[in-house]
Structure 1
Amino acid sequence: SQFKLRFLPDLNTTVEKYRSEGKKVYGLTLGDMTWDQYWYSNRYDLSKYLITIKSVDLPIFNCTGNHDNNPYCADDWQAEQAYKDIIGPTYYSFNLGNAHYIVLDNIQYINTGASQGTIGKRNYNKKLTEDQLSWLKKDLATVTDKNAPLFVAMHAQLYANPTSLPQKNTISMSGGSTLVNYLKEFTNAHVITGHTHINYTIEPSDQLIEHNIAAVCATWWWTGKNGYANNHICKDGSPGGYKIFSINDNDVKWLYKGIKEEESKQFRSYDLNQCHITAEAFAPESTEAEMGAYSDTYGTKNNKNEILVNVWGYDPEWKVEMTENGKPLEVTRVVAKDPLHIISYEAKRLNVGATPTADFVSCATAHMFKATASNATSTIEIKVTDRFGNTYSETMNRPKSLSCSMK
């Protein structure tokens, strides 16, 4: 029900908007269309997903993820059989307009301890098998226009989330180096991945870019759960959502669309003087010691008049500017956790006596930017310009409080 309420109406509105502009619209999932543990406990398997997604009026191409494997099978081939029976092949390619699309399966499902009636550990490797790489090489050889857009979609990320600056681009998947080598002859290649529930962009060359795209379910629906934060936020502070690619001949543009957000919403700002996360303020049923384990740097009161801006679609071609009374402030890219996610997930879980699940807690992200104002109450003008020249702005009136309802 949460899937229908949050994601489907928003996507249908987007589809209608672009169709009204005379554009053809297609959808591509990046896996985890179901939740493997619910196949049997909630009787929601891939066939139920197909029924749900029919309410979206557009052709959809699917990519398999780790949660789309049968949790009763401890063998990759057998575990993906339900996907092949219900959805289709786990890797394939197709053309739309000038662009060539390749969908891969980079989840090698291990699922230690599984048997009929018993769910295994659901462990897996992020890997492209030799058979798949051999097929991929042959498929790429059929693409004669090396300057045309080429999209390679798979569930798990090719490059790891960069959490140090200067940014290091580290391949995090077996077979990833081979894939990158295969793509070197293409000048307009895009790798599209998911899995992480966060946004980040890796551009190892001027010919290749990876878009690791956050999830429509955000932190697995947690922050929108009844009695929780009543928002929809990912582990890196991005709103739950999806990325829109606009392709005109060989020209490719994109933006991230938060669910129930305008396309112009591309960042969120924080007055760090007001971002003091304590149990008293955000988890009164917990303890300061428990909250302190998750509050990160925000557990200590900050009086430095610093501004933090989270730009979830950021890549090195973007520009972030801040001014105070017309005077430009020095803006520095930093690695940090998003304070709104901490109070929306970790604090809310602690407040009901639950331990935050490690996979869902706030993660460090490098799409953060910091500047220091001259005092605690001045108004800050924030201007963000993406790589295509689109600008997004905010007049930040301070003090700006931290709350689960903030935008």
Structure 2
Amino acid sequence: MLSTTLLNYTFVGCSKSEPVVKEATSNPLQLKHLSMPAVLNLSKGNAINIIGTGFKEKDIISFSPRSGQGTIIDLSIKEFNDKGITLDYSDALEDGKYDITIKRESTSQLIGKTVVNHVLRLDIPDKPNMTVKGIVHTEGKGIANVLVTDGEIFTKTDADGIYYLPSSKKNGVVYITIPSNYQVARRNTVPQFFKLLTGITSESEIRDFEIKPLNTQNHAIAFLADIHLANRNDDIKQFQENFLKDIQETSEYYRAQNKQFYALTLGDQSWDAYWYDNNFKIKEYLDNVKDLPFTIFNTIGNHDYNPYIAMNDFVASAEYRNILGPTYYSMNLGNVHYVILDNVVYTNTGGNNGIIGDREYDNIVTPEQVKWLQTNLSFIEDKSKPVVVVMHVPLYSNPTSGSNYATKNGQEIVDALAGFTNVKIMSGHTHINYRVNKLETPHISEENIGAVSATWWWTGRSGYADNHICKDGSPGGYSIMEAEGSKTKSYYKGIGFAKEYQFRTYDLNNVLITSETHAPKANATYKAKTATYAGEYTKENKKNEVLLNVWGYNKNWKITVKENGKELEVKQTTKKDPLHIISYAMQRLNVNAEPTSSFISGNTSHLFLVTASSPKSTLEIMVEDEYGNIYEETMTRPKAFSYSMR
């Protein structure tokens, strides 16, 4: 048995380089001979036994989730014997790590820590060298051919749903690939496809998974990039009043069509710089989404690590993994295979207890994970099956940068996907939108997605521009992928806008950025910086030019502009979006502050110029996406330039 003798120390298990935790405990209630299993295997309806003496009849035993997520469960003592006590089983006691406390009148005392683990069968025999075993089942009936992994090696369940895994347990977890047309339970939106391990390799551990049938052939999934909740810039208010309202309406829209609805974050749910200053970490992010009525899968980003931990990616990601699960995994929804990768190696030089390091990282997929990916994909026989690969840092760089891979070993990912004919990469990190279709890899396309936080919640901050806009002029938002069987299509959804809102137009005759208009409170020093940030827009442009920002554009889209029935030439251009300039940089100058270099407007290539014959003509603009959807605007000119323009 994996057990601990308490009052001297508490053993919570270890994996990789996580330390053994030892905590001295006082003993005001004079309990003796206490012993708690490191893993408490429970079968539904069976009693819970705790070894020790000194308990009293009216004592209450409390199980408190160590993640801070979930409900504290209070259990009364059912029976006493000379070795300990028996507690009644409770359906409310879920799998996970718990602190166990005894409450006696006004006194409470920690008596142990354990992992609650529900099992269907305790009689699965051990096998030599097999350190993890269990059953994948639906209401007690085993399910065959379900993939099980520990992040290194794979196995499949047999005809009875039983699996064995010779795991080193160094990743501290075992998890399944959710089969097509099944679902797992969710806890506070988090899908429970994973089970934590103790890391003790001398014993075999049981970890069962219950899955339930659900037709997922027709589904929609929202990709949520860079939420960056940190309790600053009025982000909680903006998130709750705008984003949560929007995503709930989106989920209701799809449920009304009998589509299963999910979300999948693309990393940076939190912001490491404010984990301690603002006491806002992964748990607090989850507190803000836990009541949403759908499952949210998650991806780790470079800001989701503990900034006090240096040069140890695994330990720095412990809070993320303990709450949200493994940092790389896969699942099947309908006919689509989703693979979530971790392409961040957190270095954080200088981090120490109480000291935030430089928070730097390397954008790479580790060799161990590349091997895992290769094995994962080897189980897919149909190479035409849609494969969606999700990661935080993009695979490919922004086309305007002229470079190739943003993920340093991107070629290894591309090589692993060779042979598949329908691959889409979904990524975040940049807070802008861009799409990549490369001739040399026609089977792979990438959507790099604008951020839920847009410009890190700055433009909607009280007293600023009262809008929500990304660095490339895209509205803050997320991407939606719709799947029907093997057919998928996607679009970018601006927060607070209808799905049909896919571009914005500017009448450049009326776009003029000046310190007097856009930074009137700035002192002379900061007013002088206007040209640095506004560039060409500080000069009048009376050429009758119209600028279009089409944030979801890729080479398969078509843009048509007509003036008085005559089609005008549309030229793609690379420059900065003027609305973002006045919404962020000019707002910072207005309060005599230097705009943060990472947040300022950047050149984007999803901009288009047309030249009209008159400053007052009306233009008929039509944008057709790759799926045949048409988005239109009748642009009445002159068109005003303002913070609230569509």
TM interval, short-chain normalised: over 0.9
Q: CA deviation at 1:169?
A: 6.5
The whole-number CA distance in structure 2 between the counterparts of 1:227 and 1:331 is: 37
What SS does the corresponding residue of 2:459 show, helix, strand or coil?
A: helix
Matched, 1:77 2:314: yes
Q: Output aligned runs, 1:227-376, within 5 Å.
A: 227-286=463-522, 287=524, 288-376=527-615
Please name the residue that 2:419 is paired with: 185
Instruction: Give the Cα–Cα distance (whole angstroms) in 2 for the partners of residues 50 and 378 of structure 1.
Output: 50
The correspondence of residues 394-405 of structure 1 with structure 2, limited to 5 A, is 394-405=633-644
What is the aligned partner in structure 2 of residue 24 from structure 1?
260
Letter aligned with residue 580 of structure 2: H
Question: Percent of aligned positions with the same letter in both sequences?
Answer: 50
8 A Cα contact 2:268 2:301, kept in partner: yes
Question: C-alpha separation between the residues in 2 aligned to 1:38 and 1:144?
Answer: 45
The offset of 1:143, in angstroms, is 1.1
Measure, in 2, the Cα distance between the counterparts of 1:392 and 1:100.
30
**Structure 1 residue 289: Cα displacement:** 2.1
Q: Is the 8 A contact 1:159 1:171 kept in 2?
A: yes
In structure 1, C-alpha distance between the alignment counterparts of 2:617 and 2:333, rounded to whole Å: 51
Deviations 1:79-112 (CA, angstroms, capped at 9, x unpaired)? 1111111211111111111111111111111111
Structure number with the bigger relative contact order (C-alpha 8 A, sep ≥ 6) is: 1
Q: Give the C-alpha shift of residue 50 in structure 1.
A: 1.7
Matched residue SS, 2:562: strand
Quick check: 1:113 aligned with 2:113? no
- CA contact 1:223–1:345 (8 Å) conserved in 2: yes
Question: 1:125: Cα distance to partner?
Answer: 1.1
For the Cα contact (< 8 Å) 1:8–1:55, is it kept in 2? Answer: no
Q: 1:34 aligns to what SS in structure 2?
A: coil
**1:228–1:19 CA distance, 2 compared to 1 (3 A):** same
SS at match of 1:294: helix
Whole-angstrom distance in 2 between the partners of 1:267 and 1:169: 26
Name the CA distance, whole Å, in 2 between partners of 1:154 and 1:4.
25
In structure 2, which of residues 375, 382, 387 is the aligned counterpart of residue 150 of structure 1?
387
The reply to whether residue 47 of structure 1 matches residue 283 of structure 2 is yes
Matched AA of 2:578? P
Residue 91 (structure 1) aligns with: 328
- 1:169 and 1:333 map into 2 onto residues whose CA distance is 19
Q: What secondary structure, in the 3-state scheme, does the structure 1 residue paired with 2:418 have?
A: helix
AA at the equivalent of 2:548: V
The residue number in structure 1 matching 2:367 is: 130
- CA drift at 1:285: 2.2
Which residue number corresponds to residue 5 of structure 1?
A: 241
Q: Distance in 2 between matches of 1:346 and 1:37?
A: 22
Contact 1:203–1:209 (Cα < 8 Å) also in 2: yes
Letter in 2 for 1:8: L
Alpha-carbon distance between aligned partners in 2 of 1:307 and 1:271, rounded to the nearest angstrom: 5
Compute the displacement of 1:38 (Å): 2.2
> Larger deviation: 250-259 or 280-289?
280-289
1:180 aligns to what SS in structure 2?
helix
**2:445 aligns to what SS in structure 1?**
strand
What is the total number of aligned residue pairs between the two structures? Answer: 404
Shift of 1:37: 2.1
1:206 offset after TM fit, Å?
A: 3.1
Aligned partners of 2:532, 2:645: CA distance in 1, in Å? 23
**Deviation at residue 183 of structure 1 after TM alignment:** 1.2
Equivalent residues of 2:393, 2:406 under 8 A apart: no
Residue type of the alignment partner of 1:248: E
Residues 4-32 of structure 1: per-residue CA shift (max 9 Å, x gap):
12211100100000000110111100011
Is the CA contact 1:169–1:202 (under 8 Å) kept in the aligned structure 2? no
Amino acid in the other structure paired with 2:511: C
* Residues in 2 aligned to 1:144 and 1:9: alpha-carbon distance in whole angstroms: 41
SS in 2 for 1:243: strand
1:163 Cα deviation after fit: 1.3
Q: Which has the higher helix share?
A: 1
Distance 2:403 2:627 in 1: 23
Structure 1's unaligned 5+ residue stretches are none
SS in structure 2 opposite 1:402? coil
Tell me the distance in 1 between the aligned counterparts of 2:361 and 2:273.
15
CA contact (8 A) 1:309 1:370 kept: yes
1:387 maps to 626
When structure 1 is superposed on structure 2, of 288-297 and 64-73 the one drifting more is 288-297
Q: Find the counterpart in structure 2 of residue 65 from structure 1.
A: 301
Larger deviation: 179-188 or 15-24? Answer: 179-188
Structure 2 unaligned blocks of 5 or more: 1-235
- Equivalent residue in structure 2 for 1:199, among 427, 433, 438: 433
CA distance in 1, matches of 2:632, 2:580: 22
Partner of residue 172, structure 1: 406
CA distance in 2, matches of 1:170, 1:5: 39
1-side partners of 2:423 and 2:506: how far apart? 35
In structure 1, what residue type is equivalent to 2:363? K
Contact 1:106 1:154 (8 Å CA) reproduced = yes
Hey, what's the Cα distance between the residues in 2 that align with 1:349 and 1:229? 10
Amino acid at match of 1:163: T
TM-score (norm 1): 0.97
SS in 1 for 2:339: strand
